[in-house]
Amino acid sequence: MSEKASPLLRLENVCKSYHKNLVLENISFEVNRGETVTLIGPNGAGKSTLMKISLGILEASSGSVHRDASITIGYMPQKVMIDPVLPLSVRDFLYLRPNTSYDDVAEALETVRLSRLSEQPVQGASGGEMQRILLARAILGKPDLLVLDEPVQGIDIMGQQEIYGLIAQIRDETGCGVLMISHDLHLVMASTDQVLCLNRHICCSGSPEFVKDNPEYHAMMGRPMEGVAIYTHHHDEGHEHKHHHGHDHD
């Protein structure tokens, strides 16, 4: 075997149009084992579309998608429809996934710390619990690659941190790669290796620290993240008046 394992997923120059509407333009990136890649971008940026292309649910209009053929993928979609009438326990909801045993279900519920809900109706789960149930479902097949479309939507900040912590824990324990979508860079910084800022094309990418200070990122998101740059970004006037950095704007 070669020294460096090949990526779990690699996209090269992927473009996607819906009818004549170009929604993804020249997207290239890869996801490796043990690594988390986070997609950030505004609504309509093409994040879900890019995930579906990565998974093979949708076909790219051009470019190439290489998925390691031997790997198992766990997917947590942005939306799931559950019959509101049919009575179904959390345990049986998870058991519906093909090739799943009740032991697998128990283990996955344990991992997301929801064992106590096993016998409860899945329709009764709160928003935050539902997200964790869907995470449990995504890890049932012991995936090599975990693909998560907004795993924390509708969850309060404490709950969001908990879910991101769980995802990082699963990654570290299993060595899987993670591709996920987030709207909050600061919440995912600690557990992300690579950030892709997407707004139809990749505006900027790199480590979370790099992206955080990147003007392209701030331009894309329309506002700096809460409590950070907007309040701390005073120019030096009045403070270090004489200290000139060589910029010539006065």
Ligand X SMILES: Nc1ncnc2c1ncn2[C@@H]1O[C@H](COP(=O)(O)OP(=O)(O)OP(=O)(O)O)[C@@H](O)[C@H]1O
Record the tokens describing residue 30, joined without a space: 């890869």
With respect to Mg ion, which residue has the nearer C-beta, 40 or 136? Answer: 40
d(CA 149, CA 175): 20
What is the nearest approach in angstroms of Mg ion to the Cβ of residue 47?
5
Residue 132 contact among Mg ion, ligand X, none, beta carbon within 5 to 8 Å by kind: none
Residue of 7, 27, 45, 48 that binds Mg ion (CB under 5 A): 48
* Beta-strand relationship, 62-67 and 9-18: antiparallel
Indicate which single residue of 17, 44, 80, 96 sits in contact with ligand X (rule: CB under 6 A). Answer: 44
DSSP 3-state of 186: helix
DSSP state, residue 91: H
Question: Would you count residue 160 as binding Mg ion (CB under 5 A)?
Answer: no
Closest to ligand X by CB, 15 or 71: 15
Question: Are 11 and 29 contacting, i.e. CB atoms less than 8 angstroms apart?
Answer: yes
CB of 212 to Mg ion, least distance (A): 22
Q: How far is the CB of 44 from ligand X (least distance, A)?
A: 4
17 near ligand X, judged by CB under 6 A: no
Distance of CA 103 to the CA centre of its chain: 27
Q: 177 and 33 in contact (C-beta within 8 Å)? A: yes
* Chain position carrying tokens 């997200």: 131
- Total residues in contact with Mg ion, by rule CB under 5 A: 3
Q: Does 18 bind ligand X (CB under 6 A)?
A: yes
Which residues contact ligand X (rule: CB under 6 A)? 18, 23, 41, 43-49, 78
